[in-house]
Structure formats: C-alpha cells, structure tokens
Amino acid sequence: MTDTPRPVPPPLAVVSGAARVLAVPGAGAERLGELCDFLRSALPAMQVRIRVGTRRSDEHACGEAVPDEAPFVASVPMGEDRLVTIEAYGARRPPAELRPILETTATLLVTMLPAITQPADADSSVERRLTRLTIDSLPLGLYLIDRDYRIVLWNRKRETGTQGLRREEVLGRTVFEVLSRQEPDALRAEFDHVFVTGEPHESEQLVQAGTEARTYRTSRLPMRLDGSDVSHVITIGEDVTEARAMHQSMYQTEKLAAVGQLAAGVMHEINNPLATIGACVTAISSRLGGSAEPVVREYLDIIESEVGRCTNIVDGLLDFSRAGRAGGSFVNCDLNVLLDRTLYLLKHHQRFRRLDVERALQDDLPAVKGNTERLIQAIMAILLNAADATNGTGRVIVRTRVEGLFVVAELTDDGPGIPADVVPKIFEPFYTTKGPSRGTGLGLAISYGIVADHQGKLDVRSEPGCGTTFRIAIPIAREPGT
Ligand SMILES: Nc1ncnc2c1ncn2[C@@H]1O[C@H](COP(=O)(O)OP(=O)(O)O)[C@@H](O)[C@H]1O
Ligand SMILES: [Mg+2]
C-alpha cells in the first residue's frame, strides 16, 4: 500500500456523485450507508461517518468512527435544532480543502433527507404522486373502470376538450352514466370482451368536429390487480387523424413510385412497335391513294386513331414516371405567376374556353422552390378536371395565400363534387370515371407525385352538390443559410 495521499477531487464532482447516490430509490438508512461508502471512496479519508439528529443524540448514524482520533467535522443545521454532520477520519489533507466538499455535501443531505428518510409507505406515496402526474401529463385520454363498470381513475386529458368532464363529477359513477352519449349495450360488450377474454380491444371512430372529420382510436386494455382475473379495464383514447393521413400519403407515394418504375420499363417496349404501326398505316394510306374501298379507309382511320390513343397513354405514363422521380431544375418561383401562366395556356384549350375563372391571389407571395414546368403540369391537370366536371361551363376560383410555412393554392370548381367513397381513389393511377376516350386516370396521380416531389401536399375537399376544392401546399423557399 502506498502512503501517498490521494488528490482531493473537485467539489462539484463529489457533490453530484453524492446526489446520484441519494436519488436512487430505497430506504433512508440504506441511502446514508451508501453515501458513506461513496464519500470514503471519493475522498482521501480512511473513514466517513454521517450523523443526523440533535446536538445531544443521533436519530440516524452510519459509517464508522475511528477510536482515539479527532475527525474533521462539517455540520449544517437542519430546521430549528437538528444537524447533519459529516465526520472524516484519517483525512490526509488539510481541512481547508475538504471543508467546501463536506459542507456542500451536508447541505445537499439537509435538502434531500426529507425525501429519503420517510417510512416505506410514505415512499410509495411519492411513487403514487409520480404515477398520477405521469398519467396526467399524457397527451392521451385515459380512464380506468372496475368490475362494476365504475370509474376509478380519470386523467387530466379527459377533463379538457369539448366533451371534458371534471374528475370529481365522474369518479365512482358507472361508465354508462358518464358516457351517456354512447350506446350502453355496445359499450358494455366491449368491456366484457376484455374482462372475459383478458385480451385488449381496439376500435376506431370517425367523429365529425365542426367541418372537420377526426379519427379517434380507443384501446381497452386488461389490468389484473392481483391474481389472474382481470380486475380493471384501462381505456385509452387517442386522436390519430394526423398519423392516419401521414400513413395514407406515404402509402400513396410508395405506390406511385412503384407504378412509375413499372411504367418507365413498359413504355420503351410499347413506344417502338406503336411508332412502327403508325408509320405502316401512313404508308398503306399513301399507297392506296384514292383507290381504296371505303371500308378499308374506315379501318385504316380506326387503326390510326387507336394508335394515337395509345401514344397518348404512353406519353401520360412517361410523364407519370418522370413525376415520380426527383430531378429537374428547382428554382425560386412565385405560385401566382405559375397560376397565371397555366390559365393563359388554358385560354385556348377547347375544354376550358367557356369557363368562368375568378382569381383571388394574395399579393407578395413568398417564393417556393419549384420546377416550373412540372408545377404548371400539376395545376393544369386539376384545372382540366374542373373543366370536365362542369362540362366546360362552370365557375372556377383560384386562390393563393400563406399558411404557416407553406404557400397554398386552392382551385375550387362548382361542379357536381366527388362522392365520399370515390375520394380515396382519385389519386390512384388509372382511376377514372370518364369514358375511355376522355380520361386516362393519370392526371391526379401525376399531380400528386409532382407536389410530393416539392415536399408539398396535394389534397381535396369535396362533397356531392357542393363542388370540389383541390389544395396544393408547397413549403416557402428558405433563404440560404436559414
Ligand atoms: N374537379 C373534379 N370534380 C369532380 N370529380 C373529379 C374532379 N377532379 C377529379 N375528379 C375525379 O377524379 C378522377 C381522376 O382524375 P384524373 O386522375 O385527372 O383522371 P381523369 O381526368 O383522366 O379521369 C376523375 O375521373 C373524376 O372522377
Ligand atoms: Mg384528369
């Protein structure tokens, strides 16, 4: 063993170490014993003794004294007449270096003692308080019922909101009395399922909140207080609207990417034979000149127009596969200017000519980072659909504004609207309700891909009889370095 005294550690290191030792849950005496051990290992001392009590007698004491040796002592008062004393025996360092460490540790002990020396059931009351606080801080509505369907716990989140009820109003009452808007038999069946099978039960509800529909998930979980029977059921209610929407849009994007890849492969295979057929038809027509039988000419016309139709589809697919891929040049652009350009291009389009267009564009829109050609293509597809929906004679309102970190363009038509069961399908590639010569079902799928490529969002609000609004939201371009 060497006799070189160990260096005195920095006071903060000792005090924070001591705090860590004291913070571990456990009985008070045990904590003090461990603190003694810790101080002995951290300090250049042979023994450490901690005493808590009055000047006359100790209430707690731990660690060992060294007989016949005068310790170095740090005492800090606690309350009116009590003291916390730390004694260091065999210290091989001058008291001036140990004093701040021992005094600060003793002060720390004064602050933490009430929490660590309480009897065991007081400990569990601290634990209970923590549990309650945790349950109340959850961003989820949570309540607990017993086997008589009486509510025994009701958390803070369940007290807030439009249907919130205060804890005092519900505790001890049956869940059927409290949640009187729910059908009691159905509710009882859900609880009974958990009580009887011991299996959790999950359900989702679509709830209309004003103009907005929100999705809530309710989970009922079994709890067994003692033994194997389910004694309580925990119910957790969660608003999963955003999570659902996110999932849906990821699913959509993935599907589009897959179709885009497939399309890119198929296109090359089809393009060349189509071009050959087209060229052959032209060659036959010119060979026959005016001498062809009317029926042959008719067939040739059909072949030609069908080849044209296939070429359109292939071109659409080409667009689609490009839309799914990032790339092209992204520049700062003004959505107002893009809308104006699209409307200008459409002015001469026969499907669009007689439409009544109203502009409500917000001045001084911030720029978005965009690929101008692609964005125009997306806007055009939506406007052409509006023209189709109103038979080219309706009214279209084009609005722009800033919403948070996004520039938003809304394109509203007064057409017949889209039935609720059709809405989820319209962004799917090849989904169309138009006749084969009118629709490819690719317009919205392409637009969706383009907007997603801009880190944006394309969605729709529509109700039969109330027209349709497509909403394009694109993030505002950030200044360099922000
Ligand atoms: N403004 C609208 N009003 C009513 N229905 C619409 C509107 N826009 C799109 N739709 C529906 O969405 C479907 C898909 O649109 P889209 O992908 O552009 O394909 P297409 O126009 O070739 O049918 C349309 O067939 C139509 O049923
Ligand atoms: Mg379309």
Domain assignment present for residue 180? The answer is yes
Task: Quote the tokens at residue 217.
Answer: 């998930």
Mean pLDDT of 144-154: 93
- Region of 441 please: left (phi>0), alpha (psi -120 to 50) or beta: left
Q: Quick one: 255 and 190 in the same domain? A: no
- Region of 298 please: left (phi>0), alpha (psi -120 to 50) or beta: alpha
pLDDT at 409 over 80: yes
d(CA 315, CA 223): 60
Question: Is the CB–ligand 1 distance for residue 216 below 6 Å?
Answer: no
Q: Quick one: 263 and 144 in the same domain? A: no
Res. 241 pLDDT band, cuts 50 70 90: confident
| Domain containing residue 296 | 247-324
CATH at 345? 3.30.565.10
- Higher local confidence (pLDDT), 220 or 129: 220
Nearest to 287 by CA among 275, 298, 306, 300: 300
CATH at 260? 1.10.287
The predicted structure's pLDDT at residue 441: 86
**446 Cα nearest atom in ligand 1:** 17
Q: Give one DSSP letter per residue of 187-225, joined into a string.
A: HHHHHHHHHHH---EEEEEEEEETTEEEEEEEEEEEE-S
The predicted structure's pLDDT at residue 196: 93
Domain end among 239, 270, 303 = 239
**385 Cα nearest atom in ligand 1:** 8
Res. 5 pLDDT band, cuts 50 70 90: low
Domain assignment present for residue 4? The answer is no
Q: Quick one: 362 and 468 in the same domain? A: yes
Question: Is the CB–ligand 1 distance for residue 443 below 6 Å?
Answer: yes
- Higher local confidence (pLDDT), 314 or 233: 233
Domain assignment present for residue 481? The answer is no
Domain end among 308, 324, 340 = 324
Mean pLDDT of 207-235: 84
**467 Cα nearest atom in ligand 1:** 3
The predicted structure's pLDDT at residue 149: 96
Q: Which of 69-78, 382-391, 415-424 shows the lowest mean pLDDT across its residues?
A: 69-78
The residue whose CA is least distant from atom 19 of ligand 1 is 441
Ligand nearest to the backbone CA of 464: 1
Nearest to 46 by CA among 6, 75, 15, 19: 6
pLDDT digit string, tens, across residues 29-59: 777 888 888 888 888 777 889 998 888 888 8
Domain total of the chain: 4
Question: Is the CB–ligand 1 distance for residue 434 below 6 Å?
Answer: yes
Average pLDDT, the chain: 83
Mean pLDDT of 444-451: 90
Domain assignment present for residue 93? The answer is yes
- Is 446 in contact with 384 (CB distance < 8 Å)? no
Question: Is the CB–ligand 1 distance for residue 176 below 6 Å?
Answer: no
Question: Is the CB–ligand 1 distance for residue 418 below 6 Å?
Answer: yes
Res. 1 pLDDT band, cuts 50 70 90: very low
Measured at the CA of 116, the angle between CA 111 and CA 122, to 5 degrees, comes to: 120
Res. 266 pLDDT band, cuts 50 70 90: confident
Domain assignment present for residue 182? The answer is yes
Q: Quick one: 316 and 290 in the same domain? A: yes
Question: Is the CB–ligand 1 distance for residue 431 below 6 Å?
Answer: yes
